[in-house]
Structure 1
């Protein structure tokens, strides 16, 4: 069961392991707003097509943004998908449609791809840097009027 603080933000402020079922229940079924259902359907369409493009491998996704709060009408779903470097390299052309800005135009999902390199690969530091960048972006809110970023969690799903 997901936990929220008094401001409606997920806690703790890290990647919270979840399931697709829990994600749908918490943010679509329990918050029955037309916009949420629409965005969720677009997310499923996006993820199904991305998975097919990646030879149906299991995809690790981080999901964040206003969709993972209790507001009634979020603007979109913020999403980062981690893809193994060999899968990415063999499908690089086709994967262009699955990252911002194409992902917004085609699926209504603010999506980014992170290439996962193994620890013994010369580009492994790039993967670590990208992972830390998204962790920093997703585990805090945008700056408020006082200039503070509040801690919050985000979902980690295997799709």
Structure 2
């Protein structure tokens, strides 16, 4: 099913929606006017992504959420979680990791970014990855509790990346 927006402006279908970078740009940047904050945010996200890819050697994927994946004209940032291969995760030092997550990533790239280690099913630490994945899917798959005390479902974008460092 082609991604679209529901009556509240949230992404649907209400599940993980795997798309490529071109489709992502078409849906969330090109479909809005050039004066919106989206063009600038997307450019910053592309810089973030390019720098992140330089330090990674293996495939990874990102879940993308927040107001950037709604019909809001001027979101403040892009919310992303990068699920990187555990070998990259364990090889990177804390200085590098800090550069690509939380406050530093927000200040430099205007992305609210988090990094999660992706362990394969056969790895003893797979349960950690699976728990983290469930946490983020639950957080990203619903709106915040609104004034009417309700939450609504929403879709989550997934972008996959093949990396060669």
Match for residue 91 of structure 2?
Answer: 90
Cα-to-partner distance string for 1:69-105 (whole Å, 9 max, x where unaligned) = 1111101100011011111111233222101121101
Match for residue 116 of structure 1?
Answer: 118
Q: How large is the Cα RMSD of the aligned pairs?
A: 1.2
Residue pair 1:79, 1:112 contacting (<8 A) in 2 also: yes
Unaligned runs of 5+ in 1: none
Matches within 5 A, 1:43-62: 43-55=45-57, 57-62=58-63
With normalisation by structure 2, the TM-score equals 0.91
User: Post-superposition shift, 1:118?
Assistant: 1.7
2:149 & 2:125 partners in 1: Cα distance?
35
1:85 & 1:91 partners in 2: Cα distance?
10
| Residue from 144, 151, 154 that aligns with 1:152 | 154
> Number of residue pairs matched?
158
